[in-house]
A and B are shown apart, each in its own frame.
Chain A
Amino acid sequence: MGEEGLYSDKVMDHFENPRNVGKIEDADGVGTVGNPVCGDVMKLYLKIDDDTIVDAKFKTFGCGAAIATSSMITELIKGKKIEEIKQITNKTVAEALGGLPKNKLHCSVLAEEAVEAALKDYYEKRG
């Protein structure tokens, strides 16, 4: 666990070189979570084929931790089955990043919620 206010090397790597930034025009599921008033908004786009996440992209307004967790979650879910990614929690994301400062743990919750929201959108679209 990183010290209060300090980011791990892994977090900094994902902050400096975020993976999968952007949008998917013909996304099968899109989830937007957070609120600009609170300082972070994450929008996650999923391309799903045969119950598998074939592509994931994000756009995030937020702090360093919000951007790093957004980047990391796309890495964690790409190529995985929907059933598998349902097991991914905010803790999984935080651990994959080598820990987050205590006051930034809520950012990883945002990532988990974005996946939930995008899947909900996917199911609704599919009917």
Chain B
Amino acid sequence: MKLVYLDNNATTPLHPEVLEEMLPFFKEDFGNPSSLHQFGRKIRVKVDEAREKVAKMIGADPLEIVFTGGGSESDNFAIKGVASANKDKGRHIITSEIEHHAVLNTCKYLEKNGYQVTYIPVDEYGVVNPEDVAGAISEDTILITIHHSNNEIGTIQPIKEIAKIAQERGIIFHTDAVQSLGKVPLNVEDIGVNLLSISAHKLNGPKGVGACYIRKGTKRLHPLINGGNQEMKRRAGTENVAGIIGFSKACELASTFMEEERGRLISLRDKLQNALTEKISHVKLNGHPTKRLPTTLNMSFEYVEGETLMINLDLEGIAVSTGSACSSGSLEPSHVLVAMGIPHEIVHGSLRFSLGRENTEEDIDRILEVLPPVVEKVRAMSPLWED
């Protein structure tokens, strides 16, 4: 059975060229970039080159890039770092209800530690209204953090408008762009952000490495990790050299292929969306119809439960994910879909298909062959369907 992987928003396979690029750094190129001898100097040059490539990918200066242990660390660093460094100025943070847990739970942590957080609601498509952000600003506001695009539904936020509001009011603006990197154009100058989080494993890079962009002139963030002088004293610890090299290669490849891939993925995704809507009754798109990542399709199948669909697909070799409560350890349904005002019973029936560079038309045809009879079978078992 050919396996079909449609969970690329969770993680992506490592690109073979990325792996090639990384291998020497697990072997002969083992030096510590902080060492002054030739073993170290050689690696320092490579890390600097990698920093340039990652910076170029988002239109930043290399000195504005801090390598981290991934997207969650970048979010933690940006939010806690700003909160701590600016606590004498104010203690209010603005975010949205549909952020990734790396942002939401960091904000909740700060709430327990003397900060106030405003969670901006979203509309039925998962879009934050910039006017709501403007309305939430108080004299005490020190940070606005709104994600660039959502991992569950793919909705892209009006990020430039929000950044402009923050800029006009002199408030630091952070965006979690983990899902957007390599999928849609991302330029820090164009957006006008102070801080931006990115991660390697969402664009066919390795896990455990990411970066936080910090605009020049932003008040120095307090580091999360204290220690040596690595990363311009912003993030201590010997660099994940192989990871950083892999990240930079993944950026280089993604920037080469992005335009072509975008068109290809949109057409595959739309084919899937249209055909599922045609073949299966009582189906609903979750997320914005157009302002959406090319990779993401989230749909609800009414009268059935998402985990049951997911496992049935898994038995057929197809990997997707669901916003159903039953699939999460917490037994809470997707906070994103709930915030969009979708009734809980419909949230439970949601599936996310997320495409990546390895997906083909054949993969889409395979789901279209498998999913309709699965939904029919599960509905036949559902007491809600008969009523």
Residues of chain A having any CB pair with chain B under 8 Å: 4-5, 15-16, 18, 21, 23, 32, 36-43, 59-67, 103-104, 106
Chain B residues contacting A43 (CB-CB under 8 Å) are 383
Check A66–B326 contact: CB distance below 8 A: yes
A59 touches B382 (CB 8 A): yes
Q: Mark B320-351 against chain A: 1 for CB-CB distance below 8 A, else 0.
A: 00001111010101000000000111001000
Determine the main DSSP class of A at the interface with B. mixed
A61 touches B324 (CB 8 A): no
- The main secondary structure of chain B at its interface with chain A is helix
Q: Which residues of B contact A65 (CB under 8 A)?
A: 326
What number of residue pairs across chains A and B have CB atoms under 8 A from each other? 71
Q: Do B383 and A32 have beta carbons less than 8 Å apart? A: yes
Contact call A63/B329, Cβ cutoff below 8 A: no
- Docked complex: B290-332 residues within 8 A CB-CB of A: 303-305, 307-308, 311, 315, 324-327, 329, 331
Shortest Cβ-Cβ A-B pairs, 6 listed: A63-B326, A36-B345, A43-B383, A63-B307, A59-B383, A61-B382
Q: List 29 A-B contacts (CB under 8 A).
A: A5-B329, A18-B381, A21-B380, A32-B383, A36-B344, A36-B345, A37-B343, A38-B344, A39-B305, A39-B333, A41-B383, A41-B384, A60-B382, A61-B303, A61-B305, A61-B382, A61-B384, A61-B385, A62-B308, A63-B307, A63-B308, A63-B327, A64-B307, A64-B311, A64-B326, A65-B326, A67-B381, A103-B329, A106-B331
Chain B contact residues, CB within 8 Å of chain A: 303-305, 307-308, 311, 315, 324-327, 329, 331, 333, 343-345, 348, 380-386
Q: In the assembled complex, which residues on chain A have CB atoms less than 8 Å from the CB atom of B333? A: 39
Contact B326 A59 (CB under 8 A): no
B305's partner among A5, A37, A40, A59 (CB-CB below 8 A) is A40
Instruction: Name the residue among A15, A32, A62, A66 with the largest chain B CB count within 10 angstroms.
Output: A62
B331: chain A residues within 8 A (beta carbon): 103, 106
